[in-house]
Amino acid sequence: MMVDLRQRGDAVTFSVRVVPRASRNKIAGIHDGAVRIRLTAPPVEGAANDALVSFLSTVLRVAKRDIELVSGQSARNKIVSVSGLSAEEVEARLRSHL
């Protein structure tokens, strides 16, 4: 059960699989190197993306501006970049919410 984290300069990127319209926002585990995240938001007009950034900023304890969707804006599988944390810090903070 490993998250595939990549350090790029001062940012860490990782894969996320979003499950929209869940009963509550939570990390549902790790599947094929991607973090599965359940979100209450529907997948309409970027609502799930906004909810994902808000949720990850809370989980990782960083500002929303430090989180960027690198790819997958309109897909369930996304690549997320987090600035200002090391890969070890990101993994520890994600694991604390599993």
Q: Which pLDDT tens digits describe the chain residue by residue (98 residues)?
A: 588 999 988 999 999 999 999 999 999 999 999 999 999 999 999 999 999 999 999 999 999 999 999 999 999 999 999 999 999 999 999 999 98
CB 53, CB 59: distance < 8 Å: no
Q: Is 26 helix (H, G, I), strand (E, B) or coil?
A: strand
Domain boundaries, the chain: 6-95
Q: Which fold has domain 6-95?
A: Conserved Hypothetical Protein Mth637; Chain: A; (3.30.1200)
- Give the helix/strand (H/E) hosting 83: strand 77-83
DSSP structural state of residue 62: -
Apex CA 87: angle with CA 81 and CA 93, to 5°? 90
